[in-house]
Homo-oligomer: A and B are copies of this chain.
Amino acid sequence: MGSVLREYWMPLMLSSELPAPDSEPKRIRLLDEDLIAFRNTDGDVGLVANACPHRGASMFFGRNEENGLRCVYHGWKFDIEGTCTDMPNEPAESNFKHKIHLQTYACRERNGVVWAYLGTRTELPELPALEWNMVPENQRFISMRIQECNWAQAFEGGIDSSHSGFLHSPVSSHRAKTEKDYDKDPNLQAGRRGSSKGMIYKARDKHPVFEVVDTPYGELIGARRNAEEDSYYWRITQFLMPFYSMIPSYGEDPVMGGHAWVPLDDYTTLTWSVDWHPLRALTSDELAKYHDYPRGAGIHPGTAKGLLSATSKPYGAWWPKDNASNDYGLDYELQKNTLFCGVPNLGLQDSAMQESMGPIFDRSKEHLGSSDMGIIRARRRLLGAARALQDSGTPPAGVDAPDAYRVRAAGVVLPRTAVWAEAAEEYVTAHREKHYASA
């Protein structure tokens, strides 16, 4: 699977994590490789191997200056192409430096996100046109968290629509019985994403029926619930190759949400959580909520308040302070009265489930139901891509179709007779100028 992932550009980090030319290098781990990211004097990002090719000392301690990273052991200096531009401990006339190369990977920046390509192509593919990275930075908010489990366990949670009515639900949603109850329930009135009929439909019908449609970039996953007598409420989730999701929102002027799950290695994943509005800047209220911890807003871990400072680890800024060691802040009073799961933070509710499966879950022990259809299809897509790449060198879906990523999730009410994927097409397209309400 690593070979498949390498064919794609991967989101590496936020530009703001390398705040200025010659600022401090950062430890990265990606697809089992230890790397160092830094911004050079010209402002470009370099991504280099952690180990100096001389004797293996870590480039993390390197001096980031004068358009290069200089190992502090013997002063060997490398530019962002990996060329050894100075080898001061060897005689001046030596051309040993020409034989030395520090492994690097290509980086690109776009709208405040740094992307990395670890693949084999010399002519690089285009960046995927994911809407959250096509809009200006003030229209989107991104935070990350480390999950100490395999990336598959993590992304599967993200495209599994049926769990949110349980894991992320308020206790009251399981008690409300009549329409009147739903109307009276404050949790359902002022949902985190605005009040909407969709939230009521979702609370009332906990048995979504799933249908999945293949797309050029991944899978369109429709979760169908009863709405009115003659309509269905479709919550349409996007799975985009190789590890992205978009999750449907609620309300009149919905902020969109989604994730990426980037593997550091087989047991550690960096989960990106993104909120964005296609047309406008996020408001200060919206932004304030993302920083609130532990209840936060939606999918973010509350940024600094919820994070350790662990710079000696890869992606050291993004390790949650509530984790397996304290059961993610599990609170039984909260579980009894307020939140179905009892873990205060929504993102950590996912971490609790996914990490408690173990570092890599033995899939022979699972029993998937009809609500797991999205997961089954996404796995099939990934495994198929791996096989095709291995057997015939076929590039995985989406690598060469960057614009296919111009999609959104959607929550729509459709007539019961509609062919949902067609009827919803307008809503799941990421129009440059149009943005629809969600149900």
**A375, chain B: closest CB distance, angstroms:** 8
Q: Are A56 and B361 in contact (CB under 8 A)?
A: yes
Q: Name which residue of chain B comes closest to A349, CB basis.
A: B72
- The answer to the question of A335 belonging to the interface, with a C-beta cut-off of 8 Å to chain B, is yes
Docked-complex contact B353 and A324, CB < 8 angstroms? no
Does A354 count as interface, using CB distance less than 8 angstroms? yes
Contact (A156, B327) CB under 8 Å given A94-B369, A207-B88:
no
Chain A: interface residue total (CB-CB under 8 A): 67
- Subset of 19 A-B contacts with CB under 8 Å: A54-B366, A55-B361, A55-B366, A56-B365, A57-B356, A61-B352, A72-B340, A72-B353, A74-B162, A74-B371, A87-B369, A89-B165, A89-B206, A89-B207, A89-B369, A90-B369, A91-B209, A100-B367, A312-B327
Residue of B53, B88, B166, B369 touching A366 (CB-CB under 8 A): B53
Looking across the interface, which residue of chain B has its beta carbon closest to that of A326? B312
| With known contacts A24-B332, A72-B341, A332-B24, A356–B207 Cβ distance under 8 A | no
8 Å CB interface, A342-393 against B: 342-343, 349, 352-354, 356-358, 361-362, 365-372
Question: Residue on B with the closest CB to A55?
Answer: B366
List residues of chain B with CB within 8 A of the CB of A56: 356-358, 361-362, 365-366
Docked-complex contact B90 and A370, CB < 8 angstroms: yes
Closest 3 CB pairs of A and B: A58-B356, A56-B357, A89-B162
Inter-chain CA distance A92–B61, complex, in Å, is 59
Docked complex Cα distance between A167 and B349 (Å): 46
Q: Is A73 an interface residue (CB 8 A)?
A: yes
5 further A-B contacts with Cβ under 8 Å, apart from A54-B367, A55-B357, are A51-B365, A56-B361, A57-B352, A73-B353, A75-B165
Which residues of A from 2 to 56 have beta carbons under 8 Å from B?
24, 50-51, 53-56
How many angstroms from the CA of A74 to the CA of B54 in the assembled complex? Answer: 52
Residues of B within 8 A of A371 (CB): 74, 89-90
Take A92-B207, A165-B89 as given contacts and tell me if A367 and B53 are in contact as well, using a CB distance cutoff of 8 Å.
yes
Question: Does A311 touch B at the CB level, under 8 Å?
Answer: yes
B341 touches A324 (CB 8 A): no
Contact B335 A369 (CB under 8 A): no
Which residues of the partner chain B approach A87 to less than 8 Å between Cβ atoms? 369
Copy number in the complex reads 3
Least Cβ–Cβ distance between A147 and chain B, in angstroms = 13
Q: B370 touching A53 by the CB < 8 A rule?
A: no
Do B163 and A89 touch across chains, with their CB atoms under 8 A apart?
A: yes
Tell me whether A434 is interfacial, beta carbon within 8 Å. no
Q: Which of B74, B330, B332, B367 contacts A163 (CB 8 A)?
A: B74
Q: Mark contacts of A109-135 with chain B using CB atoms, 8 A cut-off: 1 yes-contact digit, 0 otherwise.
A: 000000000000000000000000000
Does A284 sit within 8 A of B, measured CB to CB?
A: no
A427 proximal to B (CB < 8 A):
no
Distance, CA A356 to CA B354, complexed state (A): 31
Q: How far is the CB of A36 from chain B (nearest CB, A)?
A: 11
B90 touches A207 (CB 8 A): yes
Q: Does A417 lie at the interface of the complex (its beta carbon under 8 Å from any beta carbon of B)? A: no
Contact between A207 and B326, CB atoms less than 8 A apart = no
Bound: A278/B343 CA distance, A = 46
Is residue A208 contacting chain B, with contact meaning CB distance below 8 A? Answer: yes
Report the separation of the CA atoms of residues A53 and B368 in the bound assembly, to the nearest whole angstrom.
Answer: 9
